[in-house]
Amino acid sequence: MNEKEFIIKDFSEGLIDKIDDNLLPENAAKDVQNWIGRYVGSLTKRNGQVRLNSTLLGGPISGLYPYYVGSTRRIIVSANGVVAYWTGSAFVDLKTALNTTAPYFFETCINYMVAFNGVDAPWKWDGTTVSALANAPTDGQFPVLHKEKLFVVPKSTPSTLKWSDSFAPETWQGVNYWDVKKGDGDSITNLKKFLGELVIFKRRSIHSLRGTSLDDFRLDENVTQIGCVGPNAATLSTLYVYFVSDEGLMAYNGLKVINISQDRIPKLWANINKQYIDKAAVGIWGKFIWFALPEGSSTYNNMVILYDPPADGAVGGKFWSLRGINASCFMRYSDGTQELFYAGDSNAGYVNQQDVGSDDFGSVINAYWVGKVFDMGSPERDKRAKRVFVKDSPTTTNVVDLQISMDYGAFSSLNLRGTDRYVREFRFSSANTRWRYLAPKLIHNALGPCEVRGILMPYKARTRPKVRVV
């Protein structure tokens, strides 16, 4: 038996759960949690979370917004009927006694911020004084400043778009409205400015408002049967709007929609709780799109699907599943020296900074990565291995646990026998070294960062067995 080597030098293909596990590319994961292949040749545990506020707000976060006025920068938050702003050390109430369940939406107009929740009367804040936003629809939702007009969707007429006069968020003429496929039994769920147009999402269609005023506005229905599930469930990149639909995770380029999840992660998508998918949230941070979704029986977003889009299009990107992150909404915020990424907690009254440190509020981040089932292309042959080498990096503070599944059996840990700089040697037990199918699993359930750069396993295979012809 000549010695061969099973080698994994790259983990960047991400999660693929659509094809049989022994047909996966060697750099893909059969299952993964809280690991990310940020670049070729590296698998790193995700970064952690830090709470902005130590004092719990009254309930889950229902709105989050960055407001800049002059040199003043404020984080705006809504929770349990209260809208507040962050002073740098605590949240101070802006407005109280509001509806406790309606999500809040904010927009900056001229020199003040406006606030709508579809229930309470809209209002404005100039950084000092809170006052009523005169003449605006009392039940407006989803405010967007587009072509210098403030657009909203009244909750009482959820297929109607209304807007103010240009540069006048408190002047609303009766003729400034447009019905969007009214009577189809559907509602507008989201508004986004994209490529100079106003994209209007309904739950089952996508429309574009083109033009600059009522004189030349034109409304086109670009996509039928597919739409966005909720008001926080879409985000903009340079070339695409990424959003959550009832059919999967989508990318929209202004003309057509592409389902980016169906050919990679259909099993993971099948485990999303569709009953509460309207609470989905989408954000963009670095090169990744963050899709926050309710997994399993959860009634709130308790998982993030991370998507790394390709450089030249939407299809063919890589997916990673992150657990332990509860996000009702996302926000990018500049404090004047750096940009930070926050999530409103979907289960508690906290605002949580993302992608920082190596723990979640002081607790361990549990991470695992399961590779393809390896059979050397000859499942009829017996193989034998005694050692596996794992290469990590100087940033790793606690050694990764290596587990092996033989012939689709349970995973069991190998024994760490020695370390030569950043190469760890693991040993099989003497009683269990033969197999036909083998799958590796990397686990890191300890404090501190961890990075794996490669796996090498020397093995021997028996010669091909002879087949008796009867």
Q: Angle at CA 380, nearest 5°, toward 375 and 383?
A: 55
Class of domain 3-45+367-461: mainly beta
Q: Determine the residue type at 317.
A: G
Of 352, 203, 208, 207, nearest to 292 by C-alpha is: 352
Under-70 pLDDT residues of the chain: 1, 464-470
pLDDT of residue 394: 86
Please check whether residue 115 is in contact with residue 125, taking contact to mean a CB–CB distance below 8 angstroms: yes
Strand 303-308 with 288-293, pairing: antiparallel
Strand 28-33 with 14-15, pairing: parallel
Of 398, 409, 469, nearest to 434 by C-alpha is: 409
pLDDT of residue 376: 85
pLDDT of residue 470: 55
The SS3 call for residue 267 is helix
**Could you tell me which residues come within 8 angstroms of residue 17 by beta carbon, excluding any fewer than 6 positions away?**
30, 31, 264, 265, 266, 267, 268
pLDDT of residue 396: 86
Give the Cα separation of 58 and 55 in Å (integer): 10
pLDDT of residue 312: 78
Give the Cα separation of 245 and 239 in Å (integer): 19
Q: How many helices (H) and strands (E) does the chain have?
A: 1, 43
pLDDT for 105-161, tens place per residue? 999 998 899 999 999 999 999 999 999 999 999 999 999 999 999 999 999 999 999
In Å, the largest CA–CA distance within the chain is: 93
Domain extents for the chain? 3-45+367-461
Give the Cα separation of 380 and 440 in Å (integer): 20
Cα 62 to Cα 12, 151, 350: the distances in Å are 35, 21, 11
Residue 277 has phi, psi (to 5 degrees) of -70, -15
pLDDT of residue 313: 76
pLDDT of residue 465: 64
- Give the burial string for 213-234 (b: 16+ CB within 10 Å, else e): eeeebebeebbeebbbbbbbbb
What's the predicted TM-score (pTM) here? Answer: 0.96
Residue 217 has phi, psi (to 5 degrees) of -60, 140
